[in-house]
Amino acid sequence: MTITTDKNNDADLKAVVKQNVHSNGSASRWVEFDLHGIGAFRVERDSGISALFTDMFHPFLSEGLDHFDLTITETFEPLIDAAYGEAHGESDFFYNEKGLHIEKPDVQIFVDENGFHLHGKGELLVMALPLIDRLMVMKGTAMVHAMTVEYKGYGICMPAWGGSGKTSTMSKLVKKPGYFFMGDDWAFLTENGYMLGYAKPLFIKPYHRTLYPHLFSNAHKPLVPASLSKPISRLTTRVHPYITRFPKLARLIRRWSPEHMMVHPDRAFPDAIISSGAPLAASLFVERYQTDSIEPQFIEKDARWMATKIIGNFFSELPRNSRLVMTTLGAAGLVPIEQSFREKEEILLKALADKPAFYLRVPKSLTPDQASDIIVATIDEVVGYAGIV
């Protein structure tokens, strides 16, 4: 299924949030998000974190939902009571059968029959990601870190490490006949083999200048030279855990960092069609590797290999505090790690069954432009193997 995007800008985004009003005319306490009708979550509107979630989950803004699998607020609730008591973990957290409190960063997570409650005053976006993945897994859908496109009514999933060329590749694919944008970073796969898009904002780097010239000609802020992009990215990674204590600062940095531009897909691809979902036809895992050769390696794989790579890639690409949430919930026994990974694997194996899966290794010595040319050509091959004509 495909949809044509509205041309939203920052003013439109604020208007959508302000218009989230119940039928009695009173402003809702919550900003609500509907994840393809499968899962739903809400964020307290007056909190310092609601604007950031509105930015990053803009495609899923909704209103009037009657059930939420995840509720996010700044206000803590009692963890200790006579019935449950508490136990201390060795890594600065304490917990009981209801939930846990991680002291650094200062957050609470409660688990009940309805899902999760997440509380804290820092930038809770990274804390919420593994909870969103888990609530979707509980409903037969797995969150994946991948570039996704629709081609002639079918979905192509390209998981890859950060910096492998997803954003560069997308800029070229959407210009080719038959290809529709779905997402360049995150997506969802259902156990019945349906790929669901996530048209989140793109992070455009200085080295994307030749691929997105219209964005740089109308840029509202200066970007560092391409040669400094990676050093600044490494610095950002180091300071990110400290910045997340201050959600408004984190949102400001996302918008005004000299490392990148945060751009909604309709602005990055003004002439493209955005697809919300399509049946999965094939998958291609892409990575850059160190070699003296300039020749790529293209290898056919099976569903189990691809499921393993997707799970490992998703976990490793999450920010440090996201991984902390996963491991702490596992340590407390609230969301056992082995159960979480096993259930996600089962979903992916069903989704990937009987569909072509491939592994592409692109020499690291090639420029992003050269690498994306190889990836685009390989995807054209993949759709042929998948029998899409």
Residues 295-350: pLDDT tens digits?
A: 999 999 999 999 999 999 999 999 999 999 999 999 999 999 999 999 999 999 99
Q: Are 314 and 145 in contact (CB under 8 A)?
A: yes
Looking at the fold, whether 61 and 128 belong to one and the same domain comes out as: yes
| Domain match, 328 and 180 both | yes
Residue 81 has pLDDT above 50, yes or no: yes
Determine the pLDDT at residue 310: 98
pLDDT(22) > 80: no
| Residue 228 confidence (pLDDT) above 50 | no
For residues 287 and 362, is the Cβ–Cβ distance under 8 A?
yes
CA distance 113 to 67: 12
pLDDT of residue 83: 56
Q: Output the average pLDDT for the chain.
A: 84
> What residues contact 164, with CB distance under 8 A and at least 6 apart?
286, 287, 288, 362, 371
Q: In this structure, are 40 and 156 located in the same domain?
A: no
The Cα–Cα gap between 125 and 76 comes to 17
Asked whether residue 239 falls in the same domain as residue 256, the answer is: yes
Question: Do 82 and 157 share a structural domain?
Answer: no
Instruction: Report the distance separating Cα 271 and Cα 365, nearest Å.
Output: 32
- Domain co-membership, 114 together with 210: no
Across 220-232, average pLDDT: 51
Same domain, 301 and 246: yes
In terms of C-beta density within 10 A (0-12 exposed, 13-18 middle, 19 or more buried), how is residue 164 classed? buried
Q: Give the chain's domain count.
A: 2
Out of 85, 115, 137, pick the residue that ends a domain. 137
* Domain with 95 in it: 2-137
Residues 39-49 have a mean pLDDT of: 94
State whether residue 380 is helix, strand or coil: helix
**Could you tell me if 193 and 156 are in contact, meaning their C-beta atoms sit under 8 angstroms apart?**
no
**119 and 198 both lie in a single domain:** no
Task: Mark whether 83 and 147 lie in a shared domain.
Answer: no
Lowest mean pLDDT among 162-171, 213-222, 283-292: 213-222
Residue given tokens 């200048």 in the structure block? 209
| Residue 72: per-residue pLDDT | 97
Look up residue 299 and give its two tokens. 């290898």
Q: Are residues 129 and 225 in the same domain?
A: no
Q: Are residues 234 and 381 in the same domain?
A: yes
If pLDDT is split at 50, 70 and 90, which confidence band does 217 have? confident
- What the block records as the tokens of 239 is 């300071």
Q: Specify whether 33 is located in the same domain as 147.
A: no
**Boundary of a domain, candidates 137, 153, 182:** 137
- pLDDT (average), residues 103-122: 93
Of 137, 165, 192, the domain-final residue: 137
